[in-house]
Chain A
Amino acid sequence: MGLYHFFNYFVTITAIYAIFALSLNFQYGHAGLVNFGQVFFFCIGGYTMAIAISAGLHFFPSLFLALAVCGFVGFLISYTARNMGGTYWGIVTLAVGEIVRLVFLNENWLAGGANGISLKVAIPYFEVLILIFTAMAFLLTRTIMESPFGRVLKTIREGDDLALSLGKDVFSFKKKAMTVGGILGGLAGALFAAQKKFINPEDFFPIETFIVWAMVVVGGKGNDRGTLWGAIIIQVFYVGTRFAKDYLPISGNRLAALRMVFIGLLIMLTMMYRSKGLVPEKRKVYKVE
């Protein structure tokens, strides 16, 4: 594969995963929702896109449908967070992620089961479009987090009691955080499907969730710029090793196995030496005269 193609692939896949990581950062980094099943948004977004396109819809209506479905799914899943917090809820989301994947694997009528489903789409300048979507996702999360709404989310991250005592409807904030996170995750999944032009349940193993977790943790939770950096760094390891096999005297299989070791090592080093990530969360400084 030529250098141009490699670079092209690297940029688009990194941009797509950056949106995916932003969606997790919005839920976990900003609102403290420990979601270990983030991949279900990716999966549902991708499959909605694929099914809509095979049903004859054009690209943008399909994309819109994928976002709507994922936003709604996020809204529904937030109900499980009502009386549950932290890692308990994390386990629930992990299970939901697997259930979603297994449904697509076993319900052959829905989207081809294990054989997967292909998308017949050809969008001009798709790479540019993906970058525009990434920039929009970044601006959206940033605008929300700079607002009073974002301030309440950051408070809820540390626990419900303070926000409740000040009259904030904490559950409603969590519902909205899950909905926005779902829409962003769905966007990433839909773009992923359209870019790859073929998806099957193997694309949505729980490992995908942990790769975006690695991006958020390494980049710096609660900081959207850090999340973008995290996405780039993790993708360098993840995608880079796939292409490095042409240049290194190691077999492809061994290298593929090694890349998870690299990513694990990276998380460990970050935790040990920069526990707040490479680009830590910044505080908002006001002028006080």
Chain B
Amino acid sequence: MLLSIRNLQKFFGGLKALNGVSLDVEEKTVTGLVGPNGSGKSTLFNVVSGFLPKEGGEIYFRDEKIDGLTPDEIARRGLVRTFQIDQSALEITVLQNLLLAAPHQNGETLWRFIPYFRQIRMEENGNLEKAISILDLVRLKHLANEYAGNLSGGQRKLLSLGRMLMADPTLYMLDEPTAGVNPTLIKHLLDFLREEVMSKRGSTIFIIEHNMKVVSNICDKVIVLDSGEKIAEGTPREIQNNEKVLACYLARRRTHDEESN
């Protein structure tokens, strides 16, 4: 098992954002995490990636305990996440955002500047080539030298996906990567994620997604959260016919309709 979460608990004051969630993400699969707004999906991502401390439970990544590690340590072990609310560095260019994501760069250590001078230059050129090919893939090549701050919301989602591809971790944790992206491009990107990232690179994907169509297209397994608890787990087809899931989604929809009326 690549990622194992056991009885994870996270409270915000009296609110039980995660109330004893246990789940597994198998190697070389796409696992979806769905649930109504406020069900704890993003909180789970934040706790797993080390951005929020937990109240209880354990997290294992490649059979090693990772809870308690800092976010950067977790990322260096090969678990990289994107954010639901874009965190791109807006004052540097699109291309620099990608170059930033390349892991283990010698040029990021000051004392290596002189002894590793040529190696750093070669590394940088290699990364540059890779970054440009990724930009081509996420359809941002024409904006390579543009400030990231000038991109639209959808383009920033693509940029965060591009950074992810550049970082090329063992586990991709994607928080709503398709929000605001046009549907044709979504399909193209999902195909790419399945074929290139999973089949060729052998990576694993753990994805938060609201769009059920996307979920049933790409996911091998879907986990449903509601009010900080796991209420269902199974193939996309099983989930769509699961009564508990339907109930929680319908209940939300009914209250929503009442509110809007």
Contacts and interface: CB of A to CB of B under 8 A. Distances in A.
A176 B110 contact: yes
A251 interface: no
B126 to A, nearest CB: 12
Contacts of B147: 283
Contact of B89 (A154, A176, A288): A154
Contacts of B181: none
B75 interface: yes
Nearest to B99: A151
A154 B89 CA distance: 8
Interface in A265-289: 281, 283-286, 288
Nearest to B49: A165
A164 B167 CA distance: 13
Interface in A104-155: 143-144, 147-149, 151-152, 154-155
Nearest to B101: A166
A65 interface: no
Interface string B62-89: 0000000011110110001111000111
A180 B89 CA distance: 23
A158 B89 CA distance: 6
Interface in A165-186: 165-170, 176, 180
A155 B89 contact: yes
Contacts of B101: 166
Contact of A286 (B70, B89, B91, B144): B144
B72 A164 contact: yes
B232 interface: no
Counting chain A CB atoms within 10 Å of each CB, the highest count among B75, B90, B99, B135 belongs to B75
A143 B113 contact: yes
A6 to B, nearest CB: 40
B145 A149 contact: no
Contacts of B100: 148, 151-152, 155, 162-163, 166
Contacts of B106: 148
A159 B147 CA distance: 17
Contact of B110 (A149, A161, A168, A286): A149
Contact of B80 (A158, A167, A284): A167
B260 interface: no
Interface string B88-122: 11111101100111010111111001000000100
Contacts of A283: 92-93, 96, 145, 147
Contact of A288 (B105, B124, B145, B167): B145
B221 interface: no
B189 interface: no
A164 B72 CA distance: 5
Contact of B75 (A167, A286, A288): A167
Given A154-B89, A283-B147, A148 B120 contact: yes
A165 B82 CA distance: 8
A225 interface: no
B167 A149 contact: no
A162 B90 CA distance: 11
Contacts of A222: 91
A259 interface: no
A170 B71 CA distance: 10
A165 B52 CA distance: 12
B92 A155 contact: yes
A170 B81 CA distance: 17
A21 to B, nearest CB: 20
A284 B93 contact: yes
24 contacts: A149-B108, A151-B99, A151-B100, A152-B100, A152-B108, A155-B92, A158-B91, A162-B100, A163-B100, A164-B51, A164-B70, A165-B71, A165-B82, A165-B83, A166-B100, A166-B167, A168-B108, A283-B92, A283-B145, A284-B92, A284-B96, A285-B93, A286-B144, A288-B144
Given A143-B113, A149-B108, A149-B113, 20 more contacts: A148-B99, A151-B96, A152-B100, A154-B89, A154-B91, A155-B100, A158-B90, A161-B71, A162-B87, A164-B51, A164-B71, A165-B80, A165-B87, A166-B72, A166-B75, A167-B103, A167-B167, A169-B72, A176-B110, A286-B95
Interface of A: 143-144, 147-149, 151-152, 154-155, 157-159, 161-170, 176, 180, 222, 281, 283-286, 288
The 5 closest A-B pairs by CB, nearest first: A148-B107, A167-B75, A167-B76, A164-B71, A155-B89
